[in-house]
Amino acid sequence: MGTVDFDFGDETVIVTGGSAGIGRAIALGFGAAGATVINADVREEPKMDDEDVPTHERIAASGGTAEYAEADAAEPDELASVVEAARDFGGVDVMVNNAAVQHSESFLDVDQGAFDTLLGTNVRGYFFGTQVAARDMIERGDPGCVVNTASISSAVAQHDQVQYDATKGAIEMITKGTALELAEHGIRVNAIAPGQIATEFSEGWSEEARAAAGEGGDGDGGFIKPVPLGRAGRPEDNAGAALFLASEAASYVTGELVFVDGGWTAI
């Protein structure tokens, strides 16, 4: 297959939840493509046992420009502060709403506290993350784009995941609705929808949910039905899709969900 070299030189990218997993892979991808990257996360250190270098330091070590900004994506004021800080680099050009929390539990047992936590990060964070970035782009007269991290859960229900699925379904409609409203300003909004991603997808699942999903190292990625491509995804599998959606190659693409799931939703 052919290769693609993205060039985001002179552009500033904010990635929420960029310290680990998919967010880290996306941030590193933009950094490698020449962008100035701001990792907005509640923690600076990576979560993985085999990683000990913060995302912004990894980018800087490779010759790029990056910063870490402590921010809770569930708090609109903190997101607004990160967007304001991006003006030191010319202003946000790409807003990647990626931070998320996951909670697996039987629908009958979910309490308000757990549900509100999911809503705060997975819904409020994406809604207001898009809003503060779009307002800044419009004020500067420099339209950019937004890339959200949705999920296969945006379209497919899963056992013990009603509360999580509901928030990811909301991200799909936030993506489509804001794409519609912001089109007049030249701002595009799209989303990637990852499937099972190795090392992090099942974090937060209950043992019952894992059993119901068939998790057990059978080579199909842990789901009852197989992944057509025969493996679980890697965080970096999502980076290419995110960079594409943020690039000029996708200049006529808005309001879309791109499933990065090895074909799982195609079955």
Is 128 within 8 Å of 79 (Cβ atoms)? yes
Neighbour count for residue 212 (Cβ, 10 Å) = 16
Q: For residue 71, what are the contacts with CB-CB under 8 A and spacing of at least 6?
A: 16, 40, 41, 42, 78, 79, 81, 82
Task: Indicate the residue type of 195.
Answer: G
- Catalytic residue check, 168: yes
| Cα-Cα-Cα-Cα dihedral sign, residues 229, 49, 201, 13 | negative
What's the rounded Cα separation, in Å, for the pair 243 and 37?
A: 13
What's the rounded Cα separation, in Å, for the pair 109 and 227?
A: 30
Q: Considering 19, 154, 164, 202, which one is annotated as catalytic? A: 164
Q: Considering 151, 153, 154, 247, which one is annotated as catalytic? A: 151
- Catalytic residue check, 151: yes
Q: Considering 153, 154, 168, 247, which one is annotated as catalytic? A: 168
Neighbour count for residue 79 (Cβ, 10 Å) = 28
Going by the DSSP 8-state scheme, the letter that residue 197 receives in this structure is B
Name the strand (E) or helix (H) holding 194.
strand 188-194
Angle at 83 between CA 37 and CA 21, to 5 degrees: 45
Catalytic annotation, residues: 151, 164, 168
